[in-house]
Amino acid sequence: MKSKRIAVIGVVLLVGIAAVSMSTVGGDQIQVSAPLATDSAGRMGAIATQSVFKLIISKQNRRGTGFLHDSGNVLTAAHVIEGADPNDVVILMADGKKIPVEKIVADFDVDIAMLIPKRKIKAKALPLAAAERCSVGAQVSTWGFPAGYNGVQPMLSVGYLSGKDAIKSPSGKIVARFVVNAAFNAGNSGGPLIDIESGTVIGIVASKLAPMPPYIESALKALKNDRSISAFSITKSDGTTEPISNSQLLEQVLQYLRSQTQLVIGRAVLTGDIKTFLKKNK
């Protein structure tokens, strides 16, 4: 009797697996991504390792990720270069060469920025998707430079498209975002969100989801603004030092620990917003 029960369970599991490729809810068919070869996620590596760059913003002691667009310019997230002028930003190539930036164009509402380099970047651009795709369950990847990683070639992170979300932009405008089930960390911002199946860029990594209660946010702001006791100095990426208070040091440590929290959920700018930004800036 026990063996019969096991056999029945086995048949049910097999039927369930066979049905996973297409299911219905309320009469609507839900498409599920076709299985991909085990090396699919890394197929863009040959291009990405040459066309995804580390961005160094020296005065803000900040780093991020950018990627080459077919215009010859570098796309990234606007918050990566916030408060910086072109002279503050350096594009670090995979061969270690540094490319200075001539001009920055940014839209902080949609969190997209374009860096115009002072000299031509000789690399193959990452292709932008022709149309916006949002198939829940689609496999996606990003290449970038998460905090703590000091290599000159970008690291791969793989996940799934989970849906869409809406956030309030700095001006109060409601902006749509892709929600991605993947490990986005500080430093990944500005990297390309790639649809693995098509090999095209469908978004720009914008943020990780690491929510905190409002009173904790307020406490961190209070620590950041407290300059009463200064007993420590930090060394920036450009070699300069800056004194900070004990409270500010604590705030930076707590923010760093928060940035390392692995909720494995992040947000990305939509394809349509990228296209609108590019069209607006010709």
Query: DSSP code of 86?
Result: G
What is the number of structural domains in the chain?
2
- At 209, the amino acid letter reads L
> End of a domain among 70, 88, 117?
117
Q: Strand, helix or coil at 241?
A: strand
Cα–Cα dist 40/32, whole Å: 17
More confident position, 231 or 75: 75
Query: Does any domain span residue 70?
Result: yes
Tokens 């990405």 found at? 48
Q: CA of 183: how far to CAs of 33, 191, 194, in Å? A: 20, 13, 14
Tokens 């004194």 found at? 243
Q: Residue 102: which domain range?
A: 47-117
Mean pLDDT of 230-247: 70
Query: Does any domain span residue 275?
Result: no
User: What are residue 60's phi and psi, to 5 degrees?
Assistant: -90, 0
Q: What is the pLDDT of residue 108?
A: 93
> End of a domain among 117, 138, 163?
117
Of 193, 65, 208, nearest to 134 (Cα)? 193
For residue 66, give the CATH number of its domain.
Answer: 2.40.10.10
**What does the mean pLDDT of the chain come to?**
77
Query: Does any domain span residue 31?
Result: no
Cα–Cα dist 217/142, whole Å: 29
Of 67, 70, 119, nearest to 98 (Cα)? 119
161 in Cβ contact with 140 (< 8 Å) = yes
Q: Tokens for 171?
A: 């001006």
Q: Is residue 275 over pLDDT 50?
A: yes
Predicted confidence band of residue 135 (pLDDT cuts 50, 70, 90): confident
Query: Does any domain span residue 35?
Result: no
Query: Does any domain span residue 59?
Result: yes
99 in Cβ contact with 91 (< 8 Å) = yes
pLDDT in tens, 67-122: 999 999 999 999 999 989 999 999 998 888 999 999 999 999 999 999 999 999 98
104 sits in which H/E element: strand 98-107
Query: Does any domain span residue 219?
Result: yes
Query: Does any domain span residue 10?
Result: no
> End of a domain among 87, 117, 147?
117
More confident position, 238 or 240: 240
